Structure 1
Amino acid sequence: MQHLDVTTRTELEAAAFRRLLEHLDANKDVQNIDLMILADFCRNCLSKWLVAAAGERGVELDYETAREYVYGMPYSEWKSLYQTPASPEQLAALEARQQARKDVKA
């Protein structure tokens, strides 16, 4: 994508990000813990990254507003409607994933 000008590249990246949010919204059954196990990020991470990007540009964006954007509704509402308790297997897989990351960094 180096051949693209900065504006076009930014527009494409923004469109891809919006598509990611649409995909996550259409797949609410995919839990955050599943995303963390497989990809080491989740919807909350995306929210934090938005807040950080805003801060880097001197734009005020609070975490709850960013989460509402990512989740498509207030987080508390999403959580009560779609979040399920993590299973022992999910928790073990997440712990193993996090340990593997620590081992690689060591």
Structure 2
Amino acid sequence: MNDLSDEQKRDFEAAAFRRLLEHLRERTDVQNIDLMNLAGFCRNCLSNWYREAAEAKGVPLSKDQSREIVYGMPYAEWQAQHQTEASDAQKAAFATNRPKDH
């Protein structure tokens, strides 16, 4: 795979990221706490990484703006439509498995 140009790598990575966002937008049944417990990151992590990347390039982006990019709608709207209360088991798993930066 060393034959890929930097531009190709960037384009393919961007396409994979867009597909990941599309997948997460379709799978509203998967809660952020499920993602955190399973993979150690969630939609909010993605939005934070997006914002950090923008800011590293001198582009100011608010937390709300980056979350809207990831969720495909304002975060409060997504919460109202799709977020459910975490179960005691989910909360316990999160307390055990939670990454140090959360």
Shift of 1:89: 0.2
Of structures 1 and 2, the one with the larger relative CO (CA 8 A, separation 6+) is 2
Provide the alpha-carbon RMSD of the alignment: 1.2
**Deviation at residue 62 of structure 1 after TM alignment:** 1.3
Paired AA for residue 51 in structure 2: V
Q: Does 2:48 align with 1:87?
A: no
- 1:49-76 Cα shifts (integer Å, max 9, x gaps): 0110011111121111110111111000
- 1:66 counterpart letter in structure 2: S
Report how many residues are paired.
100
Matched residue, 1:39:
39
Cα separation, 1, equivalents of 2:86 and 2:61? 30
Residue of structure 1 in register with 2:18 after alignment: 18
Sequence identity (%): 55
Show structure 1 runs of 5+ residues with no match: none
What is the one-letter code of the residue matched to 2:19? R
Residue 76 of structure 2 is matched in structure 1 by 76
Residue aligning to 1:64: 64
Aligned AA (1:88): D
- Unaligned residue ranges in structure 2 (runs of 5+): none
Query: 2:4 matched to 1:4?
Result: yes
With structure 2 as the length reference, what TM-score do the two structures score?
0.93
CA distance in 2, matches of 1:67, 1:85: 20
Pairwise CA distance, 1:6: 0.5
- Off by >3 Å, runs of 4+ in structure 1: none
How far apart in 1 are the matches of 2:2 and 2:43?
Answer: 28
Q: Cα distance, 1:3 vs. partner?
A: 2.3
